Structure 1
Amino acid sequence: MLSEDEYYTALHQLHNVPSKYRGTQRQNYRRRLKKQIKEYEYNIKYTQFTPLPYIPYHVNRKTPIPILQQLIQAATSSTEFTLDTESMKVYKAPNRPALIQVQILLPYKLSLVVICEMMHLPHRQSETFALIAEFFKAIFKHNKSMYIWGTNEELLPFTQFQLFTHDQINAIETIDLQEEFKLFWQQQHPHRRSTIEDPYSLNQECRCETCIGKNTSESWSLQDAIAYSFNEYLPKLLTEGDFHIGLDENLVGHDQTQQGYRRALTTYALNDCLSMQRIIISMKEKGFQFKRTSNEVIEPTFSFSPINDIDDDDDDIFERQRNSPEIESSNQISRTNQLAAPPIVILEQNQTSTIEDQEITHQLD
C-alpha cells in the first residue's frame, strides 16, 4: 500500500509519464500507477471488507482423508457454490494454474470455503487424489448452480491436473455473476434527473453507471461491486501473488519465515469467494432472478498437457523460479467471524511477475 507521499508522487507520475515509455510500456506504466492509486483511495474511502461466517479448508496432499470425505458429503448435499481460481505468474511465459477456490453455500448465510492447492496435490494413484477428484465430481453436476465472476473458461487450464475433464466443466450450470451484477445495477440504479419540480431529487446522488463513471459496455470488477454495493474495500494488492508456494501450514512445517505473507495470500483467495456470496445474497434479497447459462460446449484454444506427479518431499515444483525465501501461512485463519470447524457430517440433504518491463516495475516499487 502506498504511503501518503507515495500516493501524491504516483498522481504526479500518472500525468507526467516519461517520454522513454512508449506503446505497451507506456500503457503498462499507467495501468500500474492507476491500480496503486485506486487501492490507496479505496482504503481511505471505505471500511475493510467483512465476510459472513465461514469455515476455511486447505485441500492438498496433506489433507486428512476424513476431512475430504466430509467435504464430499457437504458438496453432495449442497446445490449452490461460488468458484474462483488463482494462477502463478511466470516471467515471459503463460501463467500457471495454482489454486481453485470453491465455496459451499449453506443455510443461514454460512459457508465452507475450500482452497485446492494444485501445485501440492498427492500422487494420482493415491486415495487422497481419488477423493479430491470425487469432490469436484460432486460439484460439477448439471443440477448444481455455480456462481463465477466471469465464465467457466478459467477452469480449462486446470484440466491438466486430471482432477476433472472438459466434459465435466461443460456440464456445470454456471451463473456469470459479473454479467448478472451489471444487469442488476442497471435495474436498481437507472439514471435520475434532478429537477426543480422535484426537490427530493436534488438531494439524491444519481448512481447510474454513467454518473459513477462507468461505460455501459464496461464490465464490473469484483472490487468495484463490493465498494459501490457495501461501501467496503476489497483489497487487490496481491493479484499477482505467489499463490503456488503452499498456503497450508502443514505443507511447510513450522517454518515461521514470512508467515504473514502466506496468511495474506490465503485471505485474498478466500475473500474472492466470500465477496461473491455477499453480492449474491444482496441481489436475492432485492428479488433479482439469476440467469443460468446453457451448457454449451467450451473448446480449449490450446492443449493442456498433464503435469507430472509431485513428490511428497517436494514443496513446489516451481520453487527454482522464485528468488524469495519460503514463506508460511496458518491453516487456521484468525478471523473474528470465522466459525470453529464442526463435523461436516451433521449437514443434511435439502437444508436451507507478469510480463512487465523490469525497469518500470522497479520505479513503481
Structure 2
Amino acid sequence: MPTKKSLKNRRRFEHKNEKELTYEELFPPYEPLYKYCIYFINEVTSEEEINYLITIAQTTTHFVIDTECNCTSKTPALIQIYFVTSLDIASPLLLVEIDFLPHYSSSLFLKFKELFDYIFSLRSILYSWGFISDELNRFLPCKLFSLPIRTTNYNTQGHFKSWFNQWIKKYYSSSPDNINEDVNDIVIINAPAYDPTLILPTQLMNDKKFSSGETWSLQDAVVYTFGQYLSKRETLRRWSIGLDVKLPTRDTSFSSNYRKKLINYACLDCVSVAHIHLIMQQSKIPLDTNYIHQEPQTSGEYILSNNLTVLSDMFQLSDDSSSSSEEYHTELVAVHVPNERHQSPSHIIQMDYQQETEAPALVPPTVPRSHKRSSIAKKKRNQKTSRRHRANRYNYEIIRPANMKITSIKKLLRENHIKYTNIHVVHSVLYIGVKSDGHKRLYEQLLPSHMFV
C-alpha cells in the first residue's frame, strides 16, 4: 500500500508533468539571447583548452553558475559556469563533470583549480538562481575550490520577485500611448481557460507570489518575462553518465540523444539567468542590494557599486510612475483586522487606514467583586466570545461546493498556498474565511469551482 509520502510525491510529479504540457502547448521554446560555446571539464580536457579558458577567465568578471545533482542519490554531479561577456560573442560555458575529473594530484587537476581560482576571485560577480553558496557546499569534496569563496554573489531569484512586481505595476500605470506593443520583452498573459494552479494572468501570478511568500521558479520567470517555454523535464535525472562523448568511461547505456537533452538543459539554465538579469538591468528599476552577498574576507577591502549600466530603455515605460513593494502591501492588505490572538508581526504588514483614537474616558474606580463567576457564567461568556471571533473570521468569505473531509480540504489549501483564517462545511457547502478582500479576489481566481468535489 502506498505511503502518504509516496502519494504526495506522485501528485507533485503529475502536477509537474501537467504544467510542462500546458506551457509547451501555449508558448514557443525558449530562445537564448546569449551565445555560448560548450567546454567539458573532465579527464580528457586538453591542456590547450584549459590554458585558453584560464586566459579568458583572467579578463572576465561576470559569471552565471548553476549545479546539478543525481536524482536518486543526491550526490553532486555537474557544475555549470557561463562567462558573461558580449552578446555578439559565443562565450565559454563550462560543464564540470565531477565523477570524471582526473586525480587531484595530477597536473591537469591543478590547472582546473587555477581556473576556479580566477573564477572565484575577489573581483568576480557570480549570478545564480538561488543561494549558490548552499549548492557549492555539496561540491567541496571534489577539491576544486574551498569555502567561503571571495566573489560577490548575486541571487537573481531573490531580486526577481520585487523587480517583477515593480515592473508590472509600472507597465500598467503607464498610459497606453507610451507603451510600444511590439516590444517582445513585455509579456502580459491574459486569463486562459486553464487550471489556475498551472497558469495565471500576469497580475494574478504576481499577486500570488507576494501573498504566499512563494519564490519564482526559473521556468515561471522565463514564461512571464519572455513568453517562452523553458523545459524542466530533465531536472530530476541521473547526471553522472559522462556527458562528453569523448570520455572512454562514460555510461554507454544512455543514447547520444539523451545526452544532448541533458546538455541543452544544463546550458539553458545558465544563459536564461543571464538573459533575465540583462532585462532587469535594462529596465531602470533600482538594484536591490538585499540579494547581493559578499563573503567576509580575512584581508583586503571590497566596495560594492550600486550603479547600473543601462544599455537601453526597452520597455518604453513612463518614468513618472513607480511602485514599491511597500505600496503593494498597502493595496493588498484590506481593512479587516483579525482578533488579537490571531495577530502576528509577520502577518500585519501595513493597514490602509488609520485607526481612530479616542481620549480615555474618566471611569470611576470599580469596587472589587466579592464573588467569582460561576462555571456556567464562564461557559456562556466563552461561547459568546467564540461566536464573535468566529464571525470575524468570515468577514471575507469564499464559498465552494465540497464533499471531502476537512483534513483533505486543508491539505489542498496548503498545497495551493491558500492562507485561510477558518474553514467550515455545512450541507456540502464549504465556507473559507480569508484575511482581506484582496486575498478573497486573488483566491477566487486560484480555486476552481470543482476543486473540492
Structure-1-length-normalised TM-score: 0.68
The structure-2 alpha-carbon separation of the partners of 1:271 and 1:108, relative to structure 1 and needing over 3 Å to count, comes to closer
Distance 1:191 1:212, change over 3 A: farther
Pairwise CA distance, 1:113:
0.7
Specify the alignment match of 1:349 in structure 2: none
Report the Cα distance in structure 2 between the residues aligned to 1:145 and 1:220, rounded to whole angstroms.
22
Equivalences for residues 149-228 of structure 1 within 5 A:
149-151=129-131, 152-167=133-148, 169=149, 171-190=150-169, 207-208=202-203, 210=205, 213-216=208-211, 217-228=213-224
Question: How far apart, CA to CA, are the structure 2 residues paired with 1:163 and 1:192?
Answer: 45
Aligned sequence identity (%)? 30
Does the 8 A contact of 1:99 with 1:243 survive in 2?
A: yes
Counterpart of 1:359 in structure 2 is none
1:294 matched to 2:294? The reply is yes
Contact 2:165 2:206 survives alignment (8 Å): no
Query: 5 Å matches for 1:73-222?
Result: 73-90=55-72, 93=73, 95-108=74-87, 110=89, 111-151=91-131, 152-167=133-148, 169=149, 171-190=150-169, 207-208=202-203, 210=205, 213-216=208-211, 217-222=213-218
Q: Where in structure 1 are there 5+ consecutive unaligned residues?
A: 1-19, 298-365
- Measured in 1, the distance between the counterparts of 2:82 and 2:209 equals 29
Relative to structure 1, the CA distance from residue 288 to residue 112 in structure 2 (aligned partners, 3 Å threshold; closer, same or farther) is: farther
- How far 1:259 sits from its partner (Å)? 0.9
Correspondence for 1:268 among 265, 268, 271: 265
Match of 1:45 among 15, 26, 34: 26
Aligned counterpart, 1:240: 236
Q: Higher RCO, 1 or 2 (CA under 8 Å, sep at least 6)?
A: 1
Out of 41, 55, 60, the position equivalent to 1:59 is: 41
Asked if 1 retains the 8 angstrom alpha-carbon contact of 2:35 and 2:87, the reply is no
Question: How far is 1:124 from its partner?
Answer: 1.3
Structure 2, unaligned runs of 5 or more: 179-187, 191-200, 298-453
Q: CA deviation at 1:182?
A: 1.0
Give the direction of change, closer, same or farther, for the CA distance of 1:32–1:239 in structure 2 (3 Å limit). same
The Cα of 1:210 is off from its aligned counterpart by 4.8
CA distance in 2, matches of 1:115, 1:235: 19
CA shift, 1:224, in A, is 0.5
Task: Report if the CA contact (8 A) 1:191-1:207 is conserved.
Answer: no
TM-score for both structures, normalised by structure 2? 0.55
Could you tell me how far 1:166 is from its partner in structure 2? 1.3
Return 33-42 or 107-116, whichever deviates more.
Answer: 107-116
Cα distance change of structure 1 residues 89 and 289 upon mapping to structure 2, 3 Å threshold? same
Equivalent residue runs for 1:16-27 within 5 Å? 23-27=4-8
Query: Where does residue 16 of structure 2 map in the other structure?
Result: 35
Alpha-carbon distance change, 142 to 212 in structure 1, aligned in 2, over 3 angstroms: same
The reply to whether residue 283 of structure 1 matches residue 265 of structure 2 is no
Q: Is the 8 A contact 1:186 1:209 kept in 2?
A: no
